Amino acid sequence: MSTQGFATRSIHAGAKPDPTTGARATPIYQTTSYVFDDVDHAAALFGLKQFGNIYTRITNPTTAVLEERVASLEGGTAAVAVASGHAAQVLALHALLTPGDEFIAARQLYGGSINQFTHSFKSFGWNVVWADIGDIASFERAVSPKTKAIFVESIANPGGLITDIAAIAAVAQKAGVPLIVDNTFATPYLIRPFEHGADIVVHSLTKFLGGHGNSIGGIVVDGGKFDWLKSGRYPFLTEPRPEYEGLVIASVFGNFSFAIAIRVLGLRDLGAAISPFNSFLILTGIETLPLRMQRHSDNALAVAKHLAAHPKVTWVSYAGLAGDKYHAAQRRYAPKGAGAVFTFGVKGGYDAGIAVVKGVKLFSHLANVGDTRSLIIHPASTTHRQVATELKAAAGAAPDVVRLSIGLEDVDDLIADLDQALATV
């Protein structure tokens, strides 16, 4: 692992001047395919006997820099960038699950993930069992012989709850399954899940890593510590692959076996490739990640404190507040700040929440987080609309909930905008 600091690696990890032109910025390799040296070179690449570029659906030089940079910042051994955060989740679980298998997931998740896990994954024969990050024992109770993975978010969407990663990692280790942590809301600047026992990290690159609301991407990071061969429960990694002349991925590729499996079995066949141009834009965003995340967190804390004292606000869920249920976890896992996203309840319920969203002028009403701009949404009517009514509250999307993603503007302007919107309720 590099001894360079986080800010230095945010700018330099994986990158070097272009050997042909001397270009300092990583070029956009906008190409579908690559010329082989000769037939032996081509055969070695296709047989996984040599690393190199074959086709941009599988590898691309611009994307390779992005992958190495995020792996470095997270402290992983390798990473695979894909088309979206949802694609990252599909590919991570595709390498672990077979029809009839189960995985455990926290109820406190992005609404799109709840829908994906509950409905779309049924087509693969994958079954989700729900647990609650506020009750670690619920993860223990959910374990069965069919369990193949546990999935949580480091900072849960939409409520900004801080997950006790180490406690859930202990459950995963006892069960002999990998812990997958979606680290989108925290980024490795605030939380590094591998340091607390996670085995795999996923991100929606669309959010804070890219940071500017201009490109979609996702990534899977291999922690390199899970012993796939010892477990023997993951045939993608431990059984001979007929398409690669009987090669056993976990035997050949060691501590980056999972990343290899994602790339040469999942990404190769499912095809969720990220655009090289999007990789370039996200790389540019990561260069300012530590500066942005600190400003996001500082602004969010100031706004949360203001709303907590507002007469038309019934509650604020932000782990950075001293009285919050998850404040101790924030101090342990994310001492530099609790991130940019949190929720609050408006007196008057569903209609009042919608009125606040309608009333803002500086905040943008849209379904995203992690932008330089401040964003607002009413989850019950949008991001969590398809979530069953009985699951909405558990997921942090009750009728009165408004979610904020605090941007990089002057915080006094953000507070003034929320005040005038609340005045309309």
Global confidence as pTM: 0.95
Cross-strand pairs, 118: none
Phi, psi of 116 (to 5 degrees): -60, -45
pLDDT of residue 379: 84
**Nearest to 81, CA basis, from 260, 268, 215, 274:** 274
User: Domains in the chain, ordered, with CATH?
Assistant: 6-96+178-285 (3.40.640.10), 289-422 (3.90.1150.10)
Q: Amino acid identity of 358?
A: K
pLDDT of residue 165: 98
Do residues 125 and 148 touch, judged by C-beta distance below 8 A? no
Q: What is the pLDDT of residue 389?
A: 64
pLDDT of residue 164: 98
In tens digits, the chain (425 residues) has pLDDT values of: 578 999 999 999 999 999 999 999 999 999 999 999 999 999 999 999 999 999 999 999 999 999 999 999 999 999 999 999 999 999 999 999 999 999 999 999 988 899 999 999 999 999 999 999 999 999 999 999 999 999 999 999 878 899 999 999 999 999 999 999 999 999 999 999 999 999 999 999 999 999 999 999 999 999 999 999 998 899 999 999 999 999 999 999 999 999 999 999 999 999 999 999 999 999 999 999 999 999 999 999 999 999 999 999 999 999 999 999 999 999 999 999 999 999 999 999 889 999 999 999 999 999 899 999 999 999 888 765 656 666 666 656 788 999 999 999 999 999 999 999 999 98
Residue among 217, 219, 237 at smallest CA distance from 227: 237
Cβ atoms of 7 and 287 within 8 Å: the answer is no
Close Cβ partners of 376 (under 8 Å, ≥ 6 residues apart): 356, 357, 360, 363, 364, 365, 402, 403, 404, 405
Extract the tokens encoding 202. Answer: 């996923």
Give the whole-angstrom CA distance, residue 205 versus residue 227.
27
Asked if residue 283 lies in contact with residue 69, where contact means CB atoms within 8 angstroms, the answer is yes
As given in the structure block, the two tokens for residue 162 are: 């801080």
- Report d(CA 107, CA 104) in Å as an integer: 9
pLDDT of residue 56: 97
